[in-house]
Chains A and B, each alone.
Chain A
Amino acid sequence: MKKLLVALSVLFVCFAATAVVAAPPIRIGGLFAVTGPASFLGEPEKKSLEMLVNEVNAKGGVNGSKIELTVYDTQGDVTKAVQLATKLIKNDQVVAIIGPSTTGETMAVIPIVEKEQIPLISCAAGIKITEPAKRWVFKTPANDHVAAAKILLHAAKLKQKSLALLTVSDSFGSSGREQLKVLAAQKGFTIVADEVYSPKDTDMTAQLTKISGAKPDAIICWGTNPGPAVITRNLKQLGLKIPLYQSHGVASKKFIELAGADAAEGVMLPAGKLAVYNRLKQNEPQMPVLQAYDQAYKKSYGVEASTFGGYAYDGFQLLLGAVKKVGATPEQIRNGIEQTRKMPGVSGVFTMSTTDHNGLDLSAFEMVRIAKGDWELAN
């Protein structure tokens, strides 16, 4: 009996000792639309975040603390996102949340994190998330208007004056259309045609014919696959020689595959740097991050890393930087993220401030041109 007692107390002392040595874990939460209609965003985001957490923990954690990650699937559902955010904060006691994947979910979660004072790093692109800046809310994808501005800058360089818009009639297209119109007016372009199409339309020759009658210097199309691919083919079919810009919504090889290398030849679009990193200059500040992310992702999951997964990657790097520099309470993390200066990430180089909780500028995108079924830099 006495021996047992001694053994037990030794054990107890050991436990107590380890508890004193190892710092408490840092609990963080992930909210992603892993299934459902936005799963093309949520799935790579979840995978990227899990990969990074494993990587950091394998190296012994951050400042001696392991990171405990809890990820919930919102299924792209606003109500679920709100419930799960509350659960992360109340039950799992996380110090920060990365996600949600879509703008609608993020807007619904914002009041909760503002009230509970937990930093939220959203992976959604909507401009209203960080404009105006909210104390506890950050986001990593660049705003749509940055892509629009990038296109117009390129058009100005090519001395194109009159533009035709052809946008999809969903939220992505209509927000792009509004921003293009505002920016074009500011920069002195004239919009000579403003046409739309529905996401499931199968033939846009009618719109393009009308556009060709207005004789624009260039056409800007704003949508996600398959519409833009149909438009690219239709333009080729009609034999129109008007330069065509696409949005960052189709910045993947899938677009070239659908439109066909032949029809897509010469199409220009703003792309995140991940798509073209092996064509960038070696001294590009984002280079090491892009390379590391793409290779690590390929090694872990056997597929190429995507821009979307990069949103969660950047979110975690912002968080990690803040914990290292300032500390691991919600307040310290928030302050740390806001103090981020020139941090190279996947989506761009982040410089946060009290009024800018996105921190990306025009350099987040690279103008590319499609040549022989592949990307080339358009400069």
Chain B
Amino acid sequence: MNLSQQILQYILSGLSTGAIYGLVGLGFAIIFSSTAIVNFAQGEFVMLGGMLSVFFLEVVKLPLWLAVPVAILTATMTGVAFERLAIRPLKQATPLSLVIITIGGSILLRGLAMLFWGKDTHALPPFSGNEPLTLAGATILPQHLWIFAVTLLVITGNKLFFYYSISGKAMRACAHNRRAASLVGIDVQRMVLYSFALSSAIGAMAGIIIAPLTMTSYDVGIMLGLKGFCAAIIGGMSSGLGTVIGGIVLGLLESFGAGFVSSGYKDAIAFVILLLILIIRPQGLFHRGESERV
């Protein structure tokens, strides 16, 4: 490969890992924007999506087209159960204690997955073949196209849902001011439940479409969750394009960092960026700072 081909390949690699981070990050952003909780169990729903579809495909022997929706459904139910059993019972909890509960929840989910499915790594078959597509000397897999497509679909769906549907608008209202939202008649608890359902469904979907590429095991949620969190922070916890762009920025930085600096510093680059953004622009790269009227 010559240099320009290499650069193109870094861009493609960065885009494809970045889209994954963005998709995982969207789950964080959705829950944050309706509850102000950072749900650290989000990575585990990504794991659940992958592991459940392997389980339904290989143990229950469902065909792929059926295993995927069943897995998403099961993961969503788990998300709903998580909200009902762990988040809702705490009436007057501060966001901080809820965040800590989500960390506990993630450890529990990971442990259960390990007990049920063991510690082995599993791979899903690719959705449409494994023949790489060549683009001016750089290559990409058909599965990457699936990832791009699903990401676009989720962004558009989110935009429509949050800006044009009554539940979506209500969820945004809760994010702005819970008390005011409940005063105008919005059932805040129900909105919180919706946000958990939605984000676990998106998380599971992300876990499923990446499983043919990255493989899955009971502990993939930790690192993917952290990277997704990074993406959401860069994007300013927006439930749309911002987080996905955040993920892509992260992916590109990682692949160029590995290519031109050193692959040993790849993760360090990501987390240094995270810290810098938290210090310099805590509202994210694309947000204008919000002014609060007193």
Contact = CB atoms under 8 A, between A and B. Distances in A.
Contacts of B263: 195-197, 206-207, 210
A209 B16 CA distance: 15
Nearest to B12: A205
A225 interface: yes
A167 to B, nearest CB: 10
A202 B6 contact: no
A332 interface: no
Nearest to A203: B17
B194 interface: no
B130 A262 contact: yes
A212 B254 contact: no
A264 to B, nearest CB: 12
Interface string B119-142: 111110000001010100001110
A210 B130 CA distance: 23
Given A40-B119, A206-B263, A230-B215, A237 B141 contact: yes
A198 interface: yes
A198 B270 CA distance: 13
B266 A202 contact: no
B215 A258 contact: yes
Interface string B186-223: 00000000000000000000000010011101011011
B248 to A, nearest CB: 14
Contact of B120 (A195, A205, A238, A254): A254
A195 B266 CA distance: 11
B20 interface: yes
Contacts of B220: 200, 202
B104 interface: no
B130 to A, nearest CB: 7
B123 A238 contact: no
Given A206-B258, A237-B139, A230 B6 contact: no
A207 B9 CA distance: 11
A226 interface: yes
A205 B10 CA distance: 8
Nearest to B134: A239
B6 A213 contact: yes
A260 B259 contact: no
B151 interface: no
A54 interface: no
A202 B259 contact: no
A257 interface: yes
Given A198-B267, A205-B9, A212 B1 contact: yes
B9 A202 contact: no
Interface in B6-35: 6, 9-10, 12-14, 16-17, 20
Contact of B6 (A210, A233, A262): A210
B275 to A, nearest CB: 18
Q: Which of A205, A233, A262 has the most CB of B within 10 A?
A: A205
B76 interface: no
B107 to A, nearest CB: 15
B3 interface: yes
Given A200-B220, A200-B222, A209 B120 contact: no
Interface of B: 1, 3, 6, 9-10, 12-14, 16-17, 20, 119-123, 130, 132, 134, 139-141, 210, 213-215, 217, 219-220, 222-224, 254-256, 258-259, 263-264, 266-267
Given A202-B214, A206-B259, 20 more contacts: A39-B119, A196-B264, A200-B220, A200-B222, A202-B20, A202-B210, A205-B12, A205-B255, A206-B14, A206-B254, A206-B258, A207-B258, A210-B258, A226-B121, A226-B215, A237-B141, A238-B139, A239-B132, A258-B121, A263-B130
Closest 8 CB pairs of A and B: A202-B214, A206-B258, A206-B255, A200-B223, A226-B121, A205-B13, A195-B263, A209-B9
24 contacts: A40-B119, A195-B258, A196-B264, A197-B266, A198-B266, A200-B220, A201-B266, A206-B255, A206-B259, A207-B263, A209-B6, A209-B9, A225-B121, A226-B121, A226-B217, A236-B132, A237-B141, A238-B9, A239-B134, A239-B139, A257-B123, A258-B122, A258-B215, A263-B130
Interface of A: 39-40, 169, 195-198, 200-203, 205-207, 209-210, 212-213, 225-226, 229-230, 233, 236-239, 254, 257-258, 260, 262-263
